[in-house]
Amino acid sequence: MDFDFLKIGRSKNCGVSDTFLLNDEIVQRTESYVHSQLSDESSGHDWWHIHRVWQTAKKLAEKENADQFIVQLAALLHDIADWKFYNGNEDIGQQKARAWLEQLKVDEQTISHVCQIIKDISFKGAHVITTMKSKEGMIVQDADRLDALGAIGIARAFAYGGHKGREMYNPSVKPELHISFDQYKKKQSHTINHFYEKLLLLKERMNTEAAKTIAEERHKFMESYLKRFFEEWDGN
C-alpha cells in the first residue's frame, strides 16, 4: 500500500523529520486493509462482520466516553487473523495487527493496547473467564459478541458450520460446557450445540449497560428460533 501521503498525527516519535498519518487517515487505511483481506471470506468472519462490529463499537464508545481511536482500530483488526483459521495459533492476530500498525508508524502504547484487546477478545469456553483489561476492550468485546446474537448471530452460526463441514443438528450429540480454551478449540460438534456452548451464554457476559440491553432482545430472538427449530425438527 502507498504511504506517500502523510500528515502529522498521533504516532510514535521517530524524530523531528518524520511525518505521520492523522488518526482518521490511520482508521481509513486500516478499514481498506481489512476489507482487502476479508472481503471474500465465507465463514461469517468476513468484512461485513468487521463492519458491523466497527459501527456498533463506535456507538458504544460514544456512550461510554471511551477512546474512539483505540476502539476503532481494535474493532477493525480484531479478526484480521482468527486462530480458528490458523491451526489454533492464538498469537497470529496480534502479530498481524502489530505489523500493520507499525507500518503506519502508530505509537507503541496504542499498538500494545490494540493487541491486548485482540488477545483477550475471544470466547474461550463456558467455564473460562475472559476479562478485558480496559474500557475500550470491554466495548470491542461487547460489539463482537453482539454480532454473535440475534438474527445475524444465527446466520453466522450456520455459515461457520457449513464452512467447517459440520452437521446442522444431531440429537445424539449433546452440548458440552468446556472447561479450558484448549478443549473449546478442539470441539467438533454440530451447529445447534454451538448455541448452548457459546451463543446463549453471551447475554450474561456483556460488559456495558448499552450492550446488555441489546443482548437481552437478541437472546430472546434466538430462544424463539430454537423453539421453532425443534418443533419443525419433530415434524410439527
DSSP state, residue 214: H
Closest to 60 in 3D by CA, of 153, 143, 148, 144: 143
Per-residue pLDDT of the chain (236 residues; tens, 9 = 90+): 333 333 334 444 333 234 567 999 999 999 999 999 999 888 888 999 999 999 999 999 999 999 999 999 999 999 998 767 657 677 889 999 999 999 999 999 999 999 999 999 988 777 688 889 999 999 999 999 999 999 999 999 999 999 889 999 999 999 988 777 777 777 888 999 999 999 999 999 999 999 999 999 999 999 999 999 999 999 98
Q: What is residue 85's predicted lDDT score, i.e. its pLDDT?
A: 63
C-alpha cell belonging to residue 226: 430454537
Stated pTM of the model: 0.87
Q: What is residue 3's predicted lDDT score, i.e. its pLDDT?
A: 33
- Tens digit of pLDDT for each residue in 62-88? 999 999 999 999 999 999 987 676 576
DSSP state, residue 123: -
For residue 209, the tally of other CB atoms under 10 A from its CB is: 10
C-alpha cell belonging to residue 17: 523529520
Q: What is residue 20's predicted lDDT score, i.e. its pLDDT?
A: 67
CA atoms of 132 and 43, how far apart (whole Å): 26
Q: What is residue 164's predicted lDDT score, i.e. its pLDDT?
A: 87
- Tens digit of pLDDT for each residue in 131-164? 899 999 999 999 999 999 999 999 999 999 998 8
53 exposure class (CB count in 10 Å sphere: 0-12, 13-18, 19+): buried
Q: What is residue 27's predicted lDDT score, i.e. its pLDDT?
A: 97
Domains delineated in the chain? 23-233 (1.10.3210.50)
Q: What is residue 2's predicted lDDT score, i.e. its pLDDT?
A: 34
C-alpha cell belonging to residue 219: 437472546
Q: What is residue 83's predicted lDDT score, i.e. its pLDDT?
A: 65
